[in-house]
Amino acid sequence: MTRRLRLATGAWMTIILVASLLPEQAGGRGGAVWHLIGYGVLVVLLAAFQPPAMAVAVAWVYGAFIELLQWLVPYRAAEGGDLFMNAAGVVLGLLVSRGAPSSWRRQKGSPR
C-alpha cells in the first residue's frame, strides 16, 4: 500500500508542477480553489505514509519552490497570495488527513 501511495503522491506532485508552469489561460478562474485542492490533496497523500509535520513541511516547501520556478519563467508570475492559498490548502489537507479512516494512515508505529 505504501508503494502505491508514494507513486500516487509523486504523480500528484508532477501534476501540480506541470499545471503550475503551463502558460496561464486568458480569463482563467478559480486559481485559489485549485491551490486549496492541489495542496490539500498533496498533504492527505503525504500524511498517509509520513508524520503529519513532515507532510506539512514537504507540501509547503514544494509550493514555495514552485512559486520560485514561476518567478523564473517569463510567462508566469510568483505571487504571495498563491503562497497563502497553498498554506491554506496544506492546513485543510492536514485537517482532512487527521479525520481520514485508519486504513489510509500509516501502519504500525504511526506518529498520529
Amino acid at site 96:
V
User: Residue 108: what pLDDT?
Assistant: 46
pTM for this entry: 0.82
Domain residues for 39?
Answer: 2-19+30-104
In a domain, 112, yes or no: no
In a domain, 111, yes or no: no
Instruction: Report the number of distinct structural domains present in the chain.
Output: 1
User: Residue 42: what pLDDT?
Assistant: 97
| Of 108, 88, 111, 1, the residue nearest 45 (C-alpha) | 1
In a domain, 83, yes or no: yes
In a domain, 37, yes or no: yes
Per-residue cell: 7: 507513486
Amino acid at site 100:
A
pLDDT for residue 73 is more than 80: yes
As a whole number of angstroms, the distance between CA 61 and CA 99 comes to 23
As a whole number of angstroms, the distance between CA 84 and CA 64 comes to 10
Residue 49 per-residue DSSP state: T
